[in-house]
Structure 1
Amino acid sequence: MNVIRWLFDAQLVIGDQTILWREIVGNVFGLASALGGMRRRVWGWPVGIVGNALLFTVFLGAVFETPHPVNLLGQAGRQIMFIVVSIYGWWRWRQSRTDDGTAIEPRWAGARSRILLAVALVGGTAALTPLFRALGSYEPVWADAWIFTGSLLATYGMAKGWVEFWLIWVAVDIVGVPLLFGAGYYASGLMYIVYGAFTLTGFVVWARGRSRRRIQPAAADLGLIPR
């Protein structure tokens, strides 16, 4: 219990800025989860859930009386969404796990799904913005709504094995960095910058993985590699 209390209250002071260790630790778990996702490992999902639980308490600053008395409702709400969707992704990846330990075969979403994702991102942002504003979320509220909607779609896309989910994360990071710095969540803002580079790497890794899986069956048909 003392460890939990320490983790809840511990702070890192840099100059005149105060950062909660919960924010740092939660983001480290998030980065570890992203690494597991890039490698298509099932353990990435439960690791991410731990980080989500920690960050939920961080982004409700006014509720939990943290050094940042700012509520980012989209950021806090998406942690709950992450947990729910991660349970689905955890189950789906366990069902598709192969002998080499990887969990799912990367695939392109297709034109129709890409259009639906784009419409859902814009439409979800437009629908949630007035709701988050009425609940007192931090301005600009549309950015909070964009991050929430994009995170939902990216996590769902990851569970489905769509390569494009990495690009949705890039769109989330581009909006998330200035919002988090503006709200004083510096650890999360810096981590979003790291995530941005990481998600581009993940996209390349998954896209190449998808290309190799398309080339190998064709080569086998020609007798160039054994089946």
Structure 2
Amino acid sequence: MNPIEWLFDAQLQIGTQTILWREIVGNAFGILSAVGGMRRKVWAWPVGIAGNVLLFTVFLGAVFGTPNPVNLLGQAGRQIMFIIVSIFGWIQWSQHRRGVAQDAVAPHWAGARARILLGLGLIVGTLVLTPVFRALGSFEPVWADAWIFTGSLLATYGMAKGWTEFWLIWVAVDIVGVPLLLSAGYYASAVLYIFYGAFTLAGFFIWMRVQRRARGALAVDLATARS
């Protein structure tokens, strides 16, 4: 059996629960990608894409005949969305790094207009996708699946743009995601969401601190130039 076949079939038995190693490894890539994002490293994007590919097969349990025959279409669909937006973010951060020869992105606030659009986008996206996912047979409560998909799209886009607020969108995703994943039997992913909820708050404050340092350094440079 080659490594790919092993990864696709391997399972971990914990009591009466069966967890796919694909789910564990895919979420591990997600955590590593989040660490890279917090440190503003370009490698966060390709690492995240690798995790997305694995998790796409996990959340279509009924399609791939896994021990948990539940389809979370929002969770599966967002893996495809992640890959698309991550390619955009990868390009954005790579270009920025080449331009400044330092960090891949400079954290900054999105601004009032962008915040309003993000909030409206989260609500409208959830309302629009809920009946779509329900018609396709997604797991109930379907609105939660739609919320997670929409929030993940907005948060990933915000990360690519360098908006510090994107961390808070992830918090909103995690609050809904944990109970949904537990009820659907995706325990490894639920544990990741619990961990990630605390991690995203830490990332938010770290990016805020980076912004303050940048403003302080800019103020010093301006004062020096004027003297």
TM over 0.5: yes
CA distance in 2 between partners of 1:217 and 1:160 (Å): 21
Q: Which residue of 1 aligns with 2:96?
A: 96
Q: Percent identity?
A: 72
Report matched runs for 1:8-23 at 5 Å.
8-23=8-23
In the TM superposition, residue 3 of structure 1 has moved relative to its aligned partner by 0.8
CA distance in 2, matches of 1:185, 1:139: 14
Structure 2 length-normalised TM: 0.97
1:161, distance to aligned residue in structure 2 (A): 0.3
| Aligned counterparts of 1:155 and 1:121: Cα–Cα separation in 2 | 13
Q: Distance in 2 between matches of 1:217 and 1:136?
A: 53
Please state whether the residue corresponding to 1:103 is helix, strand or coil.
Answer: coil
Counterpart residue number, 1:194: 195
Question: Aligned-residue CA RMSD in angstroms?
Answer: 1.3
Show CA shifts across 1:31-87 (max 9, x none).
000011000000000000000000000000000000100000000000000000000
Aligned to 1:73: 73
Letter in 2 for 1:36: G
| Aligned residue number for residue 171 of structure 1 | 172
**Structure 1 letter corresponding to 2:58:** V
SS at match of 1:106: coil
Q: What TM-score results when the alignment is normalised by the length of structure 1?
A: 0.97
- The answer for the alignment partner of 1:184 in structure 2 is 185
Which consecutive residues of structure 2, in runs of 5 or more, have no partner in the other structure? none
Q: Secondary structure at the match of 1:108?
A: coil
Q: Which amino acid aligns with 1:22?
A: R
3-state SS, counterpart of residue 18 of structure 2: strand
1:215 positional shift: 1.3
Bigger shift: residues 61-70 or 1-10: 1-10
Aligned residues: 224
Paired residue type of 2:2? N
Could you list the runs of 5+ residues in structure 1 that have no partner in the other structure? none
CA distance in 1: counterparts of 2:151 and 2:218, whole angstroms: 34
Q: Using the alignment, how far apart are the partners of 1:94 and 1:220 within structure 2?
A: 26
Q: Distance in 2 between matches of 1:145 and 1:105?
A: 30
Distance 2:223 2:201 in 1: 33
Following superposition, the deviation at residue 99 of structure 1 comes to 2.4
1:125 is matched with which residue?
126
